[in-house]
Structure 1
Amino acid sequence: MTDQTDGGRRLSTQEAARVLGVKPATVYAYVSRGQLTSRRDPAGRGSSFDAAEVADLARRSRREAAAPAGGELSVRTALTLIEPDRYYLRGVDAVALASRYRYEEVAEWLWTGKLAPGAVFTAPPEALAAAGRAVAALPEHSGPIDRLRVAVAAAAVADPLRFDLSEEAVLGSARCLIPTLVGALPEKAAPSWPGDGRISRRLWSRLTAREPDPDALAVLDLALSLLVDHDLAASTLAVRVAASARAHPYAAVSAGLGALEGPLHGAAGRLAHRMLREVLEQGSAAPVVAEYLRAGRRVPGLGHRLYRAEDPRATALFARLEELPHAAPALTAAREVATTMARQRDLHPNVDLALAVLTVSSDMPPESGETIFAISRTAGWIAHALEEYQAPPLRMRPTGHYEGPTPPQPLP
C-alpha cells in the first residue's frame, strides 16, 4: 500500500516490483547493490521505497535496455567476466575452478554461487524415455544438434512444471535436462562398468566405443567444465532473448541449440577435428595448411577475438592432454599447425583446437566437439535464463532502422 510521508510518496515492495517489472526478490537485490534505498516500516508492515527513486530506476533500466552505450547491445550479468588473458565465473578464475571441481559442481556454482560437493544430476525416467523415443525416430544421418534439439522438445513435454519460472523450479529442470540430453544420445558401446553417475562418464560412451581410463575421463570432464559459459556468445544471446519473452527453460535451451547450428558458432570443433585428421594422414601440417590457404579458407582452431594470446581454455586442456600417451600424435599435429601459421600471423590456439585433440585421440567422430560443447553450455544457458527471468520482460527489443522506400508507396 502506498504511504505519504514528509519525504514524498512511498511504495510497498509489491508496488515497487510492479513499477520496475521485476519480482519482489529482485527489488531487494537492487537494495543490496545500492541502486535503491529501503525504509523499514515502524508498524512492522515490511519495507517501503521512495516512489520517485523507483521511477528513476525504472527509467534508467528502460534506457539501458533500449540504447546501451557504444551502440551495441549490452547486458548486465554477474556470471562471466572475460579479460584479455583469462576469464572468471562469478569472480573466480574459471580455469582454476574447472581444474579442481567436476562439471556438475561447476554448473552448480554458476547457477547458485555456491559449491555443491558431489553433485549428481539424474534424468527422470519419463523424460528420458520420451527423449529417447524421439531421438530414435530421427533419420540415421541426423547430427548431434538435431538429436539434442528433439530431445529437449520431448523432455519439455514430459515436464508439467516447465512453465514455472521460479529459481527453484528452473534449477530442478536443469538438473534433470542435462542428463536427459546425454541419455537420449545413442551409445557407441555399452559401458563395461557403471562408473559413478558423472555426466562425463555417461557422455563418453555416447561419443566413442573406446574404453575410457580415469585420465581420459578427467580430460573430458575438464572440457565440459571449461566450456560451461563464455559470456554473451551468439547462442547465449539467443537464450536470453527467449528468456526475456518468458519462454520456459527448455524453450530457451532450444533457442541456444538453434544458434549453435550456424557454421560460424558450432561447427569450429568439427572443422578442427577434420584438419587434424588430415595432418596425421599426411604426416605434416605444412601441406594441409597450404591447401586451406590456397582455397581461401580460414585455418580452424586458431585465434580468438577476446584473447590476446592463447585461449586459456586451450592452455588448460593441452596441459591435461599431455598426460595421455595416446593423445601425443594429435597433440603434436595441433602444435605443428600453430607453429606453421605463426610464421606469418599472430594467431594462437583456441579451445576448438584443443577439443579436436581430445576427439581425434579418443577415436570420436568429427561432430563430437559440438556434442561436448552443447551439453556443457546447456548449464550456462540455464544460468543466463535465470538472470533474464529476474530482469524486466521483453527488454531484448532493439529498434530497427528502416531503410526501405519512403512511405507512402502506391499499393502493389
Structure 2
Amino acid sequence: MPEILPGPQRLLPPQQPPVRGHDRGEGGGEEEGVLLRVLPGPFGEAERAGGHAQGVHPGDPPPGRLAQQLQSRRGQRPAAGKTAPEGLQLPGRGQAAVPQQPGHLLERGPGSDLLHRKSGEEQHPRLAIHAAQTGRGRHDPFQSFSDLGVHWVSPFQSVSLPIPSSARPGWVVNLDFKINLTHGTVWSVDDRFLTAQEAAAELGISLATLYAYASRGMLRSEPVPGMARAKRYRREDVLRLKEKKELRRYPEQAAEKAAPKALSWGMPVLESALTLIRDGRLYYRGRDAVELARTSTVEEVAALLWTGDPGDAGRLFAGEPPPIGWPLPGGLTPIERCQIAVPLAGAQDLAAWDLRPAGVAATGARILRFMAGVAAGYPPSSSSIAKLLQFGWAQGRPEVAGPIGAALILAADHELNVSAFTARCVASANASPWDVVSAGLAALKGSRHGGHTERVEALFREVGTAEEARQVLADRLRRGEPIPGCGHTLYPDGDPRGAALLEMAREIAPESPEVELALAMADAYRELIHEHPTIDHGLVALSRALELPERTPIALFALGRTIGWIGHAIEQYGVDKLIRPRAAYVGEMPETA
C-alpha cells in the first residue's frame, strides 16, 4: 500500500515529552500521555510537484464531517513543507496502521481503510484507532500546533510546555483513549507502573495507607525519572497485594478466582526457601546467583541449595558415581541419553529410597555426576561436574570448564517453574529422587520450557551473521512469527542470567563472530520489540562462543536444573503431604432422577 505521507521523516527529539492534543481546559481527563510522530508534510511537496498527496488535494479539504471541521479552520492548514500526522505504529509487529486518506482517519468505524493486520496483543489496529474517535473534549480531531500550548499529560503529572523548537507547525490528532502505539524511537506509555492515586484506588485504600504499605515493605515504590518527589508503583505488585487482601477477606470466593490465576504466573501456591526473584535479581538462599556463578563451583551451589551450607560439597561429592553399565543407542541428543539412562540407573540404586534430607542430598550428588557423564559421552568419574563436561565437549581446552560451570549455576533453579512443580508433585507421592529427575527432564524438554533453547539455536542459524540480525528479525515480525530468546515475564527490565552469560561470552571470545552475532541479535531485540535476551539466548551464545557441540545449550539447562529439582524434592519430602489440587468441572452435568 503506498504511503499516505511520503517524504523524509523528522521525529520530535526523544528528550522532549510526547506531544498531544490539548483541550485548553475543556473535558479534563486523567489519561496517560498519548504519542504522535510528525514528519515534513507532503502537502507542500505534492503541490510543488504538481501532484497530490494520496487523498489530499490542494485547496480541497477531505470529505465528510471532518471536512467541515477542517474547512472552518482553513487558515491553520499546513503550508508547503510543514508537518502532518504520521501513521501510528503498533507494537509487537512493527507495522503501521495508516489511513488511506486523512479525511477518513477517526471518522469511520472498524471498516476504515487501515492495514488489515493484528497488533502484537491481537488487537486489530483499525479497532485501536477507532477507539479514539474524538478529541479531548473538543469536536475537531485535528488541531494545529500553532493552536496549542502543548500540554503533556504523563502517568504522573500534568505539565504545560512550549512547543519543541524542532517541531514545525502542523496538525496534532486528539486521542481520548490510550492505545497500542509505537515501540520505535518515539515515546511509549509504560503500563507497568501506576501512580499513587491509581494504586490506592485499585486497592481501595487511602494514600496514607498506601504510603504505610510501602514503608513496611508490603509494596515497592520507586522514584519517577525526572520528577524529584513523585513515586510510582509496579502494577504487578499492586495486583498481587490486592489478591492477598481479597483472599483474607473472602477466602472461599477468592480461592475460586485465584486458583486458575495461580497456575499461570499468579499467586504463590506453596512455600520454598530455595530461590527468590526480586527487583530483577535472582537469589539462591539469599545469595545473588550471578555472583555465585562467578565465584563458586557447581558442587558448592548444589550443597547450598540442598543443605544450606556450601561447605558440605566435599562430603556430598566424595563417593563414586554409578557407572554406565549398558550401551546407549547412537544418534541421540544429550537429553535423550539421560532420559534413557536415568531410570535404569535409578532402578539399581537402592540407597535412593532413603528420603531423609541427608539421604536425598547424597543421592542427588550421585545423580548429578552420573548425568554429567551420560550427557558428555564420557565415563562418570570423581572429577568436578564442569571438568567432566569439558572432557566430553571440549577436550584439550581446560579453560572451558569454568564457563560451563557458571552456566550450570545460573540454570540451577528458578522458583516454581513447570519442571520444578512437576518434580515437587512426583516427590509428594514419595517417588525416588531418580524418578523426580526423570519427570523433571520430561517437562523441561518441552518447547515452552527448556526446549525453547533449541528454538533459539535454530534462530541463530537462521540469522547467520551479525549484519543480518536486524533484517532477519524484522522479517519475522512482518510475517507474524515469534522471536524466541527474549522477554521474560518475571524480568521486565531484563533477565540477569541472560545478561551474565552474554557478558561471559564477550569476555571469553571478544573477537568471535559468534559473540558478535549474539550481541547484534540482543540489540535487535531491544530495538524492534523492546525486549531483553533471556537465559536461553545466553546459553546459546556461550555455547557457540566456546565452540561446544550442537544441542549443548539445552543439556546445560537440564544438568543445571537437576540441582534445583533435587532441592525441591528435599523440601517436598519434608512437607510429607501429597500435592492434590481439585479441578473445576465444566462438562456436562449428570441427569437428575
Q: TM-score, normalised by structure 1?
A: 0.74
Distance (whole Å) between structure 1 residues aligned to residue 518 and residue 376 of structure 2: 29
Q: Which amino acid aligns with 1:345?
A: I
Change (3 A) 1:406 1:187: closer
Tell me if the contact between 1:178 and 1:375 (Cα under 8 Å) persists in the aligned partners.
Answer: yes
Distance (whole Å) between structure 1 residues aligned to residue 398 and residue 476 of structure 2: 35
Q: Does 1:317 align with 2:501?
A: yes
Superposition pairs for residues 256-275 of structure 1, below 5 Å? Answer: 256-275=440-459
Point out where structure 2 has 5 or more consecutive residues left out of the alignment. Answer: 1-247, 264-268
Tell me if the contact between 1:210 and 1:363 (Cα under 8 Å) persists in the aligned partners.
Answer: no
Q: Which amino acid aligns with 1:372?
A: L
Change (3 A) 1:393 1:69: farther
Tell me if the contact between 2:290 and 2:500 (Cα under 8 Å) persists in the aligned partners.
Answer: yes
User: Structure 1 stretches (4+) deviating beyond 4 angstroms?
Assistant: 66-69
Q: Which amino acid aligns with 1:145?
A: I
Match in the other structure for 1:212: 397
Residue 247 of structure 1 deviates from its aligned partner by 0.9
Larger of the two Rg values belongs to structure: 2
Distance (whole Å) between structure 2 residues aligned to residue 315 and residue 251 of structure 1: 33
1:34-81 per-position Cα deviation (integer Å, ceiling 9, x unaligned): xxxxxxxxxxxxxxxxxxxxxxxxxx9xx99x9599322511011111
Superposition pairs for residues 182-221 of structure 1, below 5 Å? Answer: 182-185=372-375, 187=377, 197-206=383-392, 208-209=393-394, 211-214=396-399, 216-221=400-405
Range 250-259 or range 144-153, more displaced: 144-153
Paired residue for 1:137, among 328, 332, 336?
328
Could you say what the CA RMSD is over the residues aligned between the two structures, in angstroms?
2.9
Q: Does 1:157 align with 2:347?
A: yes
Superposition pairs for residues 249-288 of structure 1, below 5 Å? Answer: 249-281=433-465, 283-288=467-472
Identity %: 34
Distance (whole Å) between structure 2 residues aligned to residue 68 and residue 86 of structure 1: 31
Point out where structure 1 has 5 or more consecutive residues left out of the alignment. Answer: 1-59
Change (3 A) 1:267 1:373: same
Match in the other structure for 1:95: 290
Q: Does 1:83 align with 2:270?
A: no
Tell me if the contact between 1:317 and 1:354 (Cα under 8 Å) persists in the aligned partners.
Answer: yes
Change (3 A) 1:143 1:325: closer
Change (3 A) 1:89 1:327: farther
Distance (whole Å) between structure 1 residues aligned to residue 591 and residue 447 of structure 2: 39
Change (3 A) 1:300 1:101: same
Range 101-110 or range 331-340, more displaced: 331-340
Residue 323 of structure 1 deviates from its aligned partner by 1.8
Superposition pairs for residues 324-339 of structure 1, below 5 Å? Answer: 324-325=508-509, 328-339=512-523
Superposition pairs for residues 2-401 of structure 1, below 5 Å? Answer: 70-71=258-259, 72=262, 74-116=269-311, 119=314, 121=317, 124=320, 127-130=322-325, 133=326, 136-138=327-329, 140-185=330-375, 187=377, 197-206=383-392, 208-209=393-394, 211-214=396-399, 216-281=400-465, 283-325=467-509, 328-394=512-578, 396-401=579-584
Q: Which amino acid aligns with 1:146?
A: E
Tell me if the contact between 1:152 and 1:181 (Cα under 8 Å) persists in the aligned partners.
Answer: yes
Distance (whole Å) between structure 2 residues aligned to residue 212 and residue 409 of structure 1: 73
Tell me if the contact between 1:321 and 1:327 (Cα under 8 Å) persists in the aligned partners.
Answer: no
Residue 157 of structure 1 deviates from its aligned partner by 1.4
Q: TM-score, normalised by structure 2?
A: 0.52
Q: Which amino acid aligns with 1:104?
A: E
Tell me if the contact between 1:302 and 1:353 (Cα under 8 Å) persists in the aligned partners.
Answer: yes
Aligned length: 335
1:218-257 per-position Cα deviation (integer Å, ceiling 9, x unaligned): 1111111111111011000000000111111111111101
Tell me if the contact between 1:87 and 1:93 (Cα under 8 Å) persists in the aligned partners.
Answer: yes
Higher helix share: 1
Structure number with higher relative contact order (C-alpha < 8 Å, ≥ 6 residues apart): 1
Residue 122 of structure 1 deviates from its aligned partner by 5.9
Match in the other structure for 1:405: 588
Tell me if the contact between 1:303 and 1:348 (Cα under 8 Å) persists in the aligned partners.
Answer: yes
Tell me if the contact between 1:280 and 1:329 (Cα under 8 Å) persists in the aligned partners.
Answer: no
Q: Which amino acid aligns with 1:90?
A: R
Change (3 A) 1:80 1:377: same
Residue 113 of structure 1 deviates from its aligned partner by 0.9
Distance (whole Å) between structure 2 residues aligned to residue 187 and residue 151 of structure 1: 12
